Amino acid sequence: MAYRSDVESFTTWAERLDIDQPADIDRLILRRYVAYLSTRQFARRSVARKVAGVRRYFGWLRRNGYVQTDPSTSLRAPSGEGRLPRVLSQSDIDELLDGPTPDDEPMWRRRRDDAVLELLYGSGLRVSELCQVDVDAVDLVAEAVSVWGKGSKERRVPLSTPATEAVAAWLQIRREVLPASGGAAMFANERGNRLTPRDVRRIIDRRSPVPTHPHALRHTFATHLLDGGADLRAVQELLGHSDVSTTQRYTHVSKQRLRTVYSQTHPRA
């Protein structure tokens, strides 16, 4: 919906220049559009998203033969200010993982949700990685799980002791939810299908004491490791980042937390 709105805004702007078909758009006109956006007091992140929408639009036009060349190929927008990832407090994590559940909740759901949450927080998995985990990817003896990350890169991630125990408990009753015909998926929803990111979001909504999202557990995993003294390169490997600069943003979060602790506890802060 956001991309559609952005493309409609661009076409409205182009019509003011008496341009009525995509083939009349060239790179110079697109650069003028970016300059126009920059004067409209949009945040840099908003400008970047609008430009991304235009690039997707022209990419679609080119693939479907509506234009011969894609004028947006090298179009760039001002880089947005990166947001620091939001992390959960230790008390929020404790309640999320160990908090009480409704008395009428079935045992299979409790065990599945425990295993899902322990993997997200204890191993720092992306929600897409978790949903694609198969049974044979988990080695309970070695306490490790193999996942496929971005760029089809496989990595082996350690399992925490609580995660190992939660997964083992879930595997004991997994067939109550996932029939034999359901395949090798580790986690399934109520319909017996492989768990989806939306299903995981529902699990967190039921269990979290504060509004949050699945990726926040990955952020919290990385930040808590760094707060505990973990090496940045080790955290990079655990998260599956190809560039250490992506991991470095978590050091900023840790510094902020250190500053908060200092301000709250030092007598002369």
Catalytic residue among 126, 174, 194, 219: 126
Question: How much is the pLDDT for 191?
Answer: 87
Q: Where are the domains of the chain?
A: 2-63, 90-262
pLDDT at 125 over 90: yes
Could you give the CA distance from residue 147 to residue 154 in angstroms, rounded to a whole number?
6
Q: Does the active-site annotation cover 194?
A: no
Q: Which residue in 16, 23, 27, 11 sits closest to 35, CA to CA?
A: 27
Q: What is the mean pLDDT of residues 217-245?
A: 91
Q: What is the mean pLDDT of residues 146-151?
A: 91
pLDDT per residue over 61-119, tens digit each? 999 999 999 999 888 876 655 566 678 988 999 999 998 877 788 999 999 999 999 99
Percent of the chain with pLDDT over 90: 54
Mean pLDDT, rounded, of the chain: 88
Question: How much is the pLDDT for 82?
Answer: 57
90-262: in CATH 1.10.443.10: yes
Q: Does the active-site annotation cover 257?
A: no
pLDDT per residue over 20-62, tens digit each? 899 999 999 999 998 888 888 787 888 888 888 999 999 999 9
User: Is this structure's pTM higher than 0.85?
Assistant: no
Catalytic residue among 150, 175, 198, 259: 150
Give the range among 144-158, 180-194, 244-258 with minimum mean pLDDT: 244-258
Q: Does the active-site annotation cover 241?
A: yes
Q: How far is CA 241 from CA 92, 154, 248, in A?
A: 26, 12, 10
- Is the C-alpha dihedral spanning 117, 123, 127, 130 positive or negative? negative
Q: Does the active-site annotation cover 259?
A: no
